[in-house]
Structure formats: structure tokens, C-alpha cells
């Protein structure tokens, strides 16, 4: 069947693994697709509408299609009213395995147009902590007194970490990193949802040497300093808001203008998705299937499913206890 004529349905995507010098091999425990090679894999892109790394549908009549292709052919069916505002899928979903420290970095906000390539956006992101190693730490925001002048001096002295607020993350914690927030991660596996942008400015890289190149990675100190929100202060984990306890537990972990993250845990059938708007589902543990238009769509640990707007809500039937994240997109401006 041609991709153009196929009706949209709950779409499952193939993860795209990315080499990162700070990565590890722990994503192999989360995803069914085997890790390539034996080097450090830092990221698995689960749902990506990026030209360089487009996600492809893994099964059904649309197998092999990219989100970009589907958006071009069926924008309203995929995005609903949001299709008037977004020519690309507006979010990028990933798993990260940060074995060594991630560079101390900052992403521009939509207001920093001069630092954002044409067609890209600012980058607010959020994490859900899935695994913590013995050195687990999240660096997010600045300590009191960390002015631009103080931070600039700290960079020359390699004392940047002393100016960063940080905490030891607990399993399942949600963390919202708004654009302009200085941040880093150490010894954790996280799920990440972000605006569909790949703009990162490194302030400091812990003197890491990339084993592939034998070199230190480039820094973008001037751009990073220009994009930092010095009013931000320290960032801690979000406080989950319990929305429902039966038939399953639903907790709102993250909410901002760009996306929302709800965690669903339980073993009784429940409803996912919402009429007329797209949602993404990420299975953190367990397995089950979705029911839509008389067909079952199986999912397991590590899978991501996109529910196009035209699919709306559907019934989810766990096979035992499951834990899912349901990701909502921005509202219509």
C-alpha cells in the first residue's frame, strides 16, 4: 500500500542510537533494538523529525515512512489544529545514558533569534530519571551570587561546577530545564522531552577528551553566556501532582508551554490520548497493547507510540503492570 493512501493509526518508531563520548551501554537494558558496536552510546532518539536523523515507522501499512513525510501528506490528521503552527513535529523524544558528566551547557530561548539557525527553535527540555548510578547528580541553575562576571571568572579557572546548583536525583524524578538554564548530568539514565531543536552551547566540558578524536570538544562560551537566564536560580525536581488513582495512577510530572508529561502506572485497562490532538506514549516498563479501530497495537519496554490527532483516544490494555509516559504537545497559541 502506498504511504499516501494509508490511514493513520498508532505509530511505533525505530530508535536511532547516537555515539556520545560521555555515554555508556545501559540503553541496551531499556530498548529491544540491540546497541551498535561496543563504544559509548549516549542517546537513543525515539521520535525525531530532524533532517539528519528522521524517525521511521516500524510496522503496519506505513512502515518506513518518516514523520516529515506523514506531516507533508496528512498534516491535519497528524497534528490537528496545531498543523497551522508547526511544519515539523514540534517535540524531540530521547533516552540518554550519561555515564560520564554531560558538558555544562545552555540552550537558547525562542527570544534569542540571533543564535538559532533558520527553521529551528529555542530549546526547553525536561527529564524523567530512570536509573541512577553511584555518582548520579543533576546540575541545574545557578547558585545565589553567580553573576555573569563570577561565572566568566569561573570558566577561566575551571571552577564552573562550584557555581552550579545541584542535587542527587531520585528514581522517577521529573526535572524541567527551561531554555536559558545552565545544566549538566552525571551517571544517570533519563527520558528527555524537548522542543524540536538541536542548538546547544557548551560552557565547560570537564576537560573531557573525546576518545574518537583525541581532542577536547569545542566550547561556545560567548553564545552560552549570552543565552543564560541569570535570574533563574536553583532548579530542583518537580512535585508530581496526582490526577487519579483508579483504575490506574496518573501523575502530572511536567507542565510547561511546550509540552506536558503524565506518568501512568497500573495493570487495569485505561484510556490514553485525547480527541483531536496528538499524543506520544513511551513505555518505561511492562508491556501491553492499544486498541484502535478494531486492531491491536502491541508495545513493550522502551517503545514509543505516536497517537495522531485523527486517532484521538484509545483503550490501553496492560499485560501485567505497566508504566507509561504520556506526552502532550503545546496548546494552540
Fold of 241-328: Jelly Rolls (2.60.120)
Residue 3: pLDDT above 60?
A: no
Q: Residue ranges of the alpha helices (H) in the chain?
A: 67-73, 75-79, 148-156, 221-227
Distance CA 299, CA 12 (A): 8
Q: What is the CATH number of domain 11-227?
A: 2.60.120.10
- Per the CB < 8 A criterion, the answer to whether 147 and 206 are in contact is no
- Quick check: do 11-227 and 241-328 share a fold? yes
pLDDT in tens, 101-157: 999 999 999 888 888 888 788 899 999 999 999 999 999 999 999 999 999 999 888
pLDDT band, residue 330 (cuts 50/70/90): confident
CA 226 to chain centre: 24
Residue 1: pLDDT above 50?
A: no
Distance CA 306, CA 297 (A): 11
Segment 185-199 mean pLDDT: 95
CA separation, residue 145 to residues 142, 180, 188, 305 (Å): 8, 17, 28, 44
Distance CA 227, CA 115 (A): 9
Domain limits of the chain? 11-227, 241-328
Amino acid at each position: 500500500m502506498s504511504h499516501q493512501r494509508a490511514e493513520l493509526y498508532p505509530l511505533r518508531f525505530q530508535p536511532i542510537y547516537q555515539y556520545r563520548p560521555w555515554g555508556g551501554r545501559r540503553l541496551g537494558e531499556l530498548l529491544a533494538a540491540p546497541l551498535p558496536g561496543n563504544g559509548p552510546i549516549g542517546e537513543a532518539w525515539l521520535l525525531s523529525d530532524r533532517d539528519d536523523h528522521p524517525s521511521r515507522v516500524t510496522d503496519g501499512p506505513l512502515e518506513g515512512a518518516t514523520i516529515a513525510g506523514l506531516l507533508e501528506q496528512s498534516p491535519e490528521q497528524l497534528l490537528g489544529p496545531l498543523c497551522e503552527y508547526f511544519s515539523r513535529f514540534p517535540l524531540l523524544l530521547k533516552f540518554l545514558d550519561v555515564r560520564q558528566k554531560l558538558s555544562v551547557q545552555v540552550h537558547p530561548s525562542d527570544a534569542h533569534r540571533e543564535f538559532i539557525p533558520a527553521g529551528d527553535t529555542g530549546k526547553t527540555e525536561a527529564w524523567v530519571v530512570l536509573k541512577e548510578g553511584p555518582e548520579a547528580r543533576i546540575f541545574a541553575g545557578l547558585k545565589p551570587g553567580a553573576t555573569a562576571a563570577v561565572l566568566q571568572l569561573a570558566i577561566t579557572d575551571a571552577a564552573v561546577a562550584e557555581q552550579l546548583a545541584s542535587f542527587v536525583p531520585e528514581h522517577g524524578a521529573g526535572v524541567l530545564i527551561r531554555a536559558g538554564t545552565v545544566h549538566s548530568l552525571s551517571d544517570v539514565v533519563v527520558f528527555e522531552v524537548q522542543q524540536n531543536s538541536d542548538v546547544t552551547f557548551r560552557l565547560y566540558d570537564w576537560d573531557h577528551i573525546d576518545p574518537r578524536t583525541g581532542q577536547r570538544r569545542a566550547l561556545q562560551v560567548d553564545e552560552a553566556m549570552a543565552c543564560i537566564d541569570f535570574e533563574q536560580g536553583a532548579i530542583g525536581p518537580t512535585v508530581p501532582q496526582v490526577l487519579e488513582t483508579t483504575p490506574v495512577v496518573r501523575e502530572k510530572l511536567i507542565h510547561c508551554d511546550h509540552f506536558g508529561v503524565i506518568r501512568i502506572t497500573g495493570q487495569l485497562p485505561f484510556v490514553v490520548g485525547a480527541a483531536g490532538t496528538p499524543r506520544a506514549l513511551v513505555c518505561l516498563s511492562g508491556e501491553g497493547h492499544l486498541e484502535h479501530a478494531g486492531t491491536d497495537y502491541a508495545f513493550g519496554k522502551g517503545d514509543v507510540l505516536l497517537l495522531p490527532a485523527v486517532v484521538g483516544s484509545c483503550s490501553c490494555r496492560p499485560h501485567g503492570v505497566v508504566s507509561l509516559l504520556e506526552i502532550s504537545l503545546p496548546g494552540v497559541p
